[in-house]
Amino acid sequence: RVLSFDNNCLFTMSTRLRAPSQCCVGTACPLRVNARSRITPTSFQRRCLRVAVVKASASAGADGKQPLHTRVAIIGGGPAAHTAAIYAARAELEPIVFEGFMAAGIAPGGQLTTTTFVENFPGFVEPIMGIDLTEKFKQHSKRYGTRVFTETVTSVDFQVFDQEGSDSSSSSSSGTGVQTPQQQHQQQQPGAPAAPSGGAAQRKRRGPFTLRTTERCVTADAVIIATGASAKRLRFPGSGDESEGGYWNRGISACAICDGSSPLIRNKPVAVVGGGDSAMEEAMFLTRYASKVYIIHRFNYLEASKSMARRALANPKIEVLWCAEVREAHGSEATGNLEAITIARSPLPAGAPVGLAAAPPAPAAAAGAAAGAAGAAHAAGRDGGEVLERLEVCGLFFAIGHRPATDFLQGQLDLDDYGYIVTAPGSTVTSVPGVFAAGDVMDRKYRQAITAAGSGCMAALEAERFLQALDAGVAPAAAAGVAERGEGGMPQQWTASAAAPPA
């Protein structure tokens, strides 16, 4: 053990120790004292102390960040992260939550902090501010002993498994030496080929995972990633928040389900920006509350699926403004809320069809190139210049996609084409055993606070089972166990040696 000193006084002739300890440097050291006793170190003892301090500094990393170990580290600060923390803390796993500090430009708490009133979270009959709800999440998790650090995890090291007796053909594309959850799911289908021999099932775990934050180096036996995703926003005059003189959260939003029923827009015209399935869904949802819904799209066709596009185009409350872009937002001096927008409309390309998608939506990797090519073709087909129009709307909703906070996971976990973490079907298990994903970082479909909280519960229960199996010496050898689901959706190899989680 490394001795701990008051005032970091290492080499004085008189030093007060904080706790019983012994200098451990590979030789028998006579220095062993009780707490608060005063000693006079010998030269041999001082040499032992110097070596111990050097070894401790090396273990902290080259940057000297203070090392910290936990059974469960949770990355994120929203409903998924704190729900996972509540369950992990009640299971006496002493979790640590790294909620981040303005990660991706969002305050600790995630997207809920950008929402005004939350009206659809069970248990809160009266509307509650999003930032107040996230604070209650934090208070709840801390009540059971969760430690919360307002630090951003900047890098991770999940490469802690050895590969024995396997060749490169049995490794995954991510380089982790384990099959992806999709591959494992495919192998459990009838007629699917068996997993390669000598693959992930033979891997041995060398040690815990490593996380580096802006303040410290952390090791963890299991990790739950709940970093969420941020909605993509357009930038134009008036689109910022109140401090920027804009109307964000005062008529401009990126979540129709969250803000669509607001009194600000009930029985009033609104607009949705986008042309994909999300835009169609939000537009149809808004028809329940708004008097009219405009879909503003910069092309002359929709990228949405044909079924979704047909439903939207058939709705009498929905009108599509083709080849249009928002240029400015205007507010009411009396209320300070959005009351109109300025759009730029271009003439339709000559002879071009208008309506359904010309091609299926491109993955994120190719979306930029596809959008650029489509934009160039659209520009080439214009018959004239742009025309500016003022559109009276009290609500403007961005539906142009989300960006998951997974940049720091590149090369560590399997991600899909859009950057979301890939998990096993019906589970939070990722491509790396012992690493779990919850919330919007793995959910491209629902993206709601309540569904994020549910997946956080799943991740904590699965992490608890994993740690029980790890302690029993089973989990590392069953690294790719997501292929065969056992009781409660857990791999059969884990459930064979792990007790059921507490109620």
CA distance 85 to 95: 6
Active site residue: 217, 258, 323, 394, which one? 258
Cβ(466)–Cβ(434) under 8 Å?
A: yes
CA distance 218 to 176: 21
pTM to 2 decimal places? 0.61
Structure tokens at 242: 């109140």
Distant-in-sequence, close-in-space partners of 58: CB < 8 Å, separation ≥ 6: none
CA distance 205 to 186: 25
Is-catalytic flag, 258?
yes
Q: Which of 230, 217, 390, 400 is CA-nearest to residue 298?
A: 400
Cα-Cα-Cα-Cα dihedral sign, residues 328, 396, 306, 185: positive
Q: Which amino acid is at 365?
A: A
Helix, strand, coil % over all residues of the chain, rounded to 5:
30, 20, 45
CA distance 296 to 31: 76
First to last CA, the chain: 38
Is-catalytic flag, 24?
no
Q: Which of 463, 477, 466, 482 is CA-nearest to residue 423?
A: 482
What are all long-range contacts of 129-138, with beta carbons under 8 Å and residues at least 24 apart? 131/107, 133/449, 134/77, 134/78, 134/79, 134/82, 134/108, 134/109, 134/110, 135/109, 137/78, 137/79, 137/82, 137/83, 137/109, 138/77, 138/82, 138/99, 138/109
pLDDT in single tens digits along all 503 residues of the chain: 344 443 333 433 333 333 334 343 333 444 444 334 344 455 555 554 544 443 444 444 445 555 789 999 999 999 999 999 999 999 999 999 999 876 655 667 777 876 767 888 999 999 888 889 999 999 999 999 999 999 999 999 998 877 654 433 333 333 333 444 444 444 444 433 334 333 344 467 878 999 999 889 999 999 999 999 888 889 999 998 888 889 998 999 988 877 888 888 899 999 999 998 889 989 999 999 999 999 999 999 898 889 889 999 999 999 999 999 999 999 988 888 999 999 999 988 765 556 665 444 444 444 444 444 444 434 433 445 789 999 999 999 998 888 899 999 999 999 999 899 999 999 999 999 999 999 999 998 888 899 999 999 999 999 999 999 999 887 554 333 443 444 434 444 444 434 444 44
295: left (phi over 0), alpha (psi -120 to 50) or beta: beta
- DSSP conformational letter for 482: G
Active site residue: 255, 277, 323, 414, which one? 255
Is-catalytic flag, 394?
no
Domains, in order of start, for the chain: 6-60 (no CATH), 67-164+198-229+404-495 (3.50.50.60), 234-400 (3.50.50.60)
Distant-in-sequence, close-in-space partners of 276: CB < 8 Å, separation ≥ 6: 302, 303, 304, 361, 399, 400, 401
Q: Which of 88, 143, 95, 136 is CA-nearest to residue 112?
A: 136
Structure tokens at 372: 């650029």
Q: Which of 422, 499, 489, 437 is CA-nearest to residue 464?
A: 499
Site of tokens 């271009």 = 346
Active site residue: 259, 277, 414, 443, which one? 259
What integer pLDDT is reported at residue 345 of this predicted model?
93
